Each structure stands twice: as C-alpha cells, then as structure tokens.
Amino acid sequence: MNKIAFVFPGQGSQAVGMGKDIAEKHAEVMEYFVKADKRLEIPLSQLIFEGPKEELTVTYNTQPALLTTSIALLDFFQKSGIKADFVAGHSLGEYTALVAAGVISFEDGVYAVRKRGEFMENAVPNGEGSMAAVLGLDRDPLLTVTNEVSESGFPVSLANLNSPGQIVISGSRKGVELAGAKAKEAGAKRVLPLDVSGPFHSTLMRPAAEQLLGVLDGLEMNDAAIPVVINVTAEPVSSASEIKDKLIEQLYSPVLWEDSVMKMIALGVDTFIEIGPGKVLSGLIKKIDKTVKIYSVSDEESAQAVIDALKEEKI
C-alpha cells in the first residue's frame, strides 16, 4: 500500500511574492494571509507579496511568512482529497506540519513562530554566532571535529543533518571557523558559511528555548491527527505533551532530516510531497533515496500538476 508524506520547508525557502498569484485568484487561500495579519497585528501579507526582501528575510518575519504560505497552499491542495499518512517539516517547517496535523491552530502556529523567530534573533548578540554547510564529510568524523573544538572552549555542534554529505554546523563564530578548517583537514570537500542571523540549532539557543516554553504553555495543543515525524528524534509522534517537549529541544538540537526521511521510507512512504515555496526538501530527499517519488507544490499550476499525476497513479 502506497503511503504519502507531506513535508514542509524551513528558512531559506522564502521569496518575495510567494503565494500571491494563488491568493489573488482564490478567496479561501487569501483568507490565511488575512488571518495571519490579524493575529500578528502587522501587515505580514503585504511583506510576503511585495517585500522588501531584506525585511522578509529577518527571522521573525520569515518564519510566520513561510508557515502562512505553506498552509494556504496545503488547504488548496487538500481540496483534491489527497491525504497524508505522515507529516514532517524542516526546522521551522515542523510547526507547519503541526498545523497540518491539527496539533495547533493556524493562528496559534503563526503567533508561535513569530515569537520563536524573535527569541532566536535575540538569543546571541549579532556577530557572535554563525553557521556553515559542510559538504562531503560523514557525520561521525564531523561530530569528532565539533566535539574537539567545543572542548577547547569554542562551542560548535551539528545543526542540520540534511542528506548524505550535507551537514550544517552551528555555534560561536570562532567555533564554526575552527571546525570548518578541521573538517577540511578531515576530508570535507567544501565548507560554505551561511548567511544567517544566529547560531540556530546549537546549544547557544538554550535561552530562546526557555522563552519559547512560556509561549507554548499558553497555547492549546491537541494530539496529532496524523503522525508527525519529529526533527529531534526522527520518530513519529502523536502525543501533544511529547510534541511540546520536542519543540523546545528542537531549538538547540540537530535537525535529523536525513534520518526522518529514512524513517518514513521504512514505514512505507514512497511518495513525498513538498508543500511550500521552493524545492529545497525535494532536492534533499532525492539525495537520500533516488527510488521514491517526489513532488513539489509551490503555486496553483504545480498543485494541479501533482493532483493530476497522483490521480493517474491512482494514489
């Protein structure tokens, strides 16, 4: 029996104008952008549709903008009757997955990620933390490198285990710099500094995690209607209390994306549908397993093409 997973992108997939065409054509899609504006009491939809790009890419704007666009696209896509057996999201995308699974309401999801973005932005003084993508080195030798550098007094850790040979490290600026140099000595092909505003998914995010707990405690959370494969453990979870615990851990723990995809495949998923702007996750999944089917829904045209393809396959 074919199983389907809906997956939702994280920061880096945003683009000015995302969701605009479909929202202008369909009132029910536009309604999500209107709801987000009301919940946050800011003109988020105007920022999403018109920019400027510099403002959209600020963490506390990017996060609610991506969640809003992805959920609006999901609502349009689900009218076809195609349902998921599992949902998952990359970092911020995990919150989109939680809205999709009925764990939190859309409005609470938008609010939570706006606050999450603020806490992440403020956790470490600007310029003191950084992230870098390490290409061509396996996780075990890279973990040895980050442990050695951290023990020397410059915190750095594995942040995103995205796909074979693509791992992001995060931590203090000096720690990332030293770990990058040592990773090259250990055989990494390339080390690419990332243009981010902080050391996300590192131990330096613990202050943000404590603040986030206060926000999540104030929101209503339900057990998941669809199992959510969680970043921190790469395991399917349905319990609301367990999900909340893992959301807190997620801020300072690695995103186990490769493991999450492998877990879903092991559970019978052979079709992944990325819902949201861009095709970042589709590219990563292709590197993890070339045999699975991968589709991307980023606008009305691609949504209809995926619906037609799946109906043809009788999924």
| Residue 314 reports pLDDT greater than 70 | no
Same-domain pairing of 217 and 79: yes
Q: Are 106 and 227 contained in the same domain?
A: yes
User: Residue 189 pLDDT more than 90?
Assistant: yes
List the CATH number of the domain containing 292. Answer: 3.40.366.10
pTM of the predicted model, to two decimals?
A: 0.96
Q: Quick check: 164 and 288 in contact, CB under 8 A?
A: yes
- Give yes or no for residue 168 having a pLDDT over 90: yes
What confidence score (pLDDT) does residue 81 get? 92
State how beta strands 269-275 and 3-8 pair: parallel
Question: For residue 315, what pLDDT is reported?
Answer: 61
- pLDDT digits 0-9 by tens, 262-303: 999 999 999 999 999 999 999 999 999 999 999 999 999 999
* pLDDT averaged over every residue in the chain: 96
Shared domain for 308 and 182, answered yes or no, is no
Per residue in 38-56, pLDDT (tens digit) is: 999 999 999 999 999 999 9
306 shares a domain with 208: yes
Q: Is residue 252 located within the same domain as residue 172?
A: no
CA distance 189 to 19: 36
Confidence of residue 205 (pLDDT cuts 50, 70, 90): very high
Active-site choice (91, 163, 197, 302): 91
Residue located via tokens 């696209």: 73
Identify whether residues 20 and 45 lie together within a single domain: yes
CATH of the domain at 159: 3.30.70.250
My answer on whether 245 and 98 are in the same domain is yes
> What string of H, E and C letters represents the secondary structure of 117-184?
HHHHHHHCCCCCEEEEEEECCCHHHHHHHHHHHHHCCCCEEEEEEEECCEEEEEEEHHHHHHHHHHHH
Q: Which of 196, 220, 250 is the last residue of a domain?
A: 196
- Reply yes or no on whether 45 is catalytic: no
- Whether residue 19 is found in the same domain as residue 69: yes
- Percentage of the chain exceeding pLDDT 90: 94
Q: Is the pLDDT of residue 16 over 80?
A: yes
Last residue of a domain, one of 196, 222, 245: 196
Can you give the pLDDT at residue 51?
95
Of the pLDDT bands very low, low, confident and very high (cuts 50, 70, 90), residue 88 is very high
Pick the catalytic residue: 157, 172, 197, 201? 201
What is the per-residue pLDDT for 280?
96
Q: How many domains are there within the chain?
A: 2
- Please name the residues in contact with 45: beta carbons below 8 A apart, sequence gap of 6 or more: 23, 33, 34, 36, 37, 68
Could you report the per-residue pLDDT of 130-158, keeping only the tens digit for each? Answer: 999 999 999 999 999 999 999 999 999 99
Q: Are residues 225 and 244 in the same domain?
A: yes
Tell whether the model's pLDDT for residue 312 goes beyond 90.
no
Residues 280 and 146 in one domain: no
pLDDT at position 118 is 96
281 shares a domain with 142: no
pLDDT digits (tens, 9 = 90+) for 246-256: 999 999 999 99
201 noted as active-site residue: yes
Same-domain status, 112 and 152: no
Angle at 228 between CA 200 and CA 301, to 5 degrees: 85
Q: Which residue range is the domain that position 308 belongs to?
A: 3-123+204-312
Among 196, 228, 252, give the residue marking a domain's end: 196
